[in-house]
Amino acid sequence: MNDKLEYWRKQIDKLDDDLLDILAKRLDIVREIGKAKRAQGIRLLDEKRWHEVLESKLSKAELLNLPKDLIETLYEHIHKHSLEIERRSK
């Protein structure tokens, strides 16, 4: 196999591992947020906050020249799963 191609693939593998590590850390924080919301009687879904986060990420994605539809779909999935994790947090 082409040495350059192999090098790039290893770079992608490393970045994918980093993404998963960051996602795991994010979801750990989501669990803590779920516990705090439950203890304080706060609703899990804060629509205003959700829209602020999404708009912020879409703006940053634009600056980084990332496809808006990819980032929007990615964050919608992350948000959906985060809410489910918050629901199950005890």
Compute the residue count for the chain: 90
pLDDT-derived band at 25 (thresholds 50, 70, 90) equals very high
> Cβ neighbours of residue 42 under 8 Å, at least 6 residues apart?
36
Q: Which amino acid is at 81?
A: H
- The model carries a pTM of 0.88
Q: Does 62 have pLDDT greater than 70?
A: yes
Q: Determine the Cα–Cα distance for residues 42 and 14; give it in Å rounded to an integer.
A: 38
Helix, strand or coil, per DSSP, at residue 2: coil
Estimate the crossing angle of helix 68-88 against helix 47-63, to 10 degrees.
Answer: 150
The fold of the 3-88 domain, in CATH, is Chorismate Mutase Domain, subunit A (1.20.59)
Please report, for the chain, the start and end positions of each structural domain, with discontinuous segments joined by +: 3-88
pLDDT-derived band at 90 (thresholds 50, 70, 90) equals confident
Q: Does 1 have pLDDT greater than 90?
A: no
Q: What is the DSSP letter of 41?
A: T
